[in-house]
Copies of this chain bind each other. A is one copy, B any other.
């Protein structure tokens, strides 16, 4: 498990501000760019664009553009991405379950 950086290397890719949220948002099937933007609270257009690009590069998400007018683009987790989805869901559930407790520990400051 102490691998000299392999875990860090991968974690760097998915533990940025939005990647896990995007993966989680795609857990139930493909979504369009605009749907993701609405579904993920607080994300800016720029960060959604960049995050999706990185996830596509890493092979965690696929991008499908339909040649229509107006344009339609759908994003979906790949087979590789699907192996990560359960972990993301578990993390999200953990976050929700323990949110109040963590906030109480902080005493509200920060």
Which A residues fall within an 8 A CB radius of B? Answer: 1-13, 15-17, 20-21, 24-25, 39, 41-42, 57-60, 80, 83-84, 87, 89-92, 94-96, 98-99, 101-102, 104-106, 110
Q: How many copies does the complex hold?
A: 2
Knowing A21-B11, A83-B98, A90-B87, say if A5 contacts B42 (CB, 8 Å). Answer: yes
CB distance from A93 to the nearest CB of B (A): 8
Question: Can you offer 22 A-B residue contacts whose CB atoms are under 8 A?
Answer: A2-B25, A2-B41, A6-B95, A7-B21, A7-B95, A8-B21, A9-B95, A10-B94, A10-B96, A11-B21, A11-B91, A11-B95, A15-B16, A15-B20, A57-B105, A57-B110, A80-B98, A83-B98, A84-B94, A87-B87, A87-B90, A87-B91
